[in-house]
């Protein structure tokens, strides 16, 4: 079930927009998810996530097993799979990420768990 929720936080990529959709903590979802609004996942998701122009917030206690293509992502829960972000990937000290990351900006806090490779994208063009 997706629901709307107002939130505020000090997380760099927190989704405070009242139009933010939420996959609740008791929800388990398998499949392909596409959207044009910010999303918070508190439950379990397996498949593919396409939010190319929007942000994804992976809440504490959630588990995502997916290839993810987003603008920005904040990981407080557990993510297995590859992330491609046109903006920023932020893994909090509570976050756990296994997979490859490709993004313009990446921040991994002290205490976070990460296993994979990082590819820094650049807007600098080679001549």
Mean pLDDT of the region 22-35: 81
SS3 10: coil
The Cα 12–Cα 89 span in angstroms is 10
Highest mean pLDDT among 2-11, 18-27, 30-39, 101-110: 101-110
More confident residue, 27 or 115: 115
CA distances from 87 to 54, 114, 117 (A): 10, 19, 17
The per-residue pLDDT for range 62-106, each reduced to its tens digit, is 999 999 999 999 999 999 999 999 999 999 999 999 999 999 999
Task: Decide if pLDDT at 61 tops 60.
Answer: yes
Q: Could you identify the residue written with the tokens 């936080």? A: 9
User: What's residue 19's pLDDT?
Assistant: 63
User: What's residue 5's pLDDT?
Assistant: 44
More confident residue, 23 or 108: 108
Q: What are the extents of the domains in the chain?
A: 2-111
């Amino acid at each position: 079930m997706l629901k709307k929720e107002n939130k505020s936080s000090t997380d760099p990529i927190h989704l405070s927009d009242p139009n933010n959709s939420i996959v609740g903590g008791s929800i388990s979802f398998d499949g392909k998810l596409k959207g044009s609004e910010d999303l918070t996942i508190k439950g379990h998701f397996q498949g593919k996530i396409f939010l190319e122009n929007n942000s994804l917030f992976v809440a504490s206690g959630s588990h995502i097993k997916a290839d993810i293509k987003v603008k920005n992502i904040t990981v407080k829960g557990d993510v297995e799979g590859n992330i491609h972000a046109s903006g920023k990937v932020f893994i909090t000290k509570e976050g756990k990420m296994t997979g490859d990351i490709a993004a313009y900006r990446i921040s991994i806090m002290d205490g976070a768990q990460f296993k994979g490779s990082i590819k820094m994208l650049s807007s600098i063009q080679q001549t």
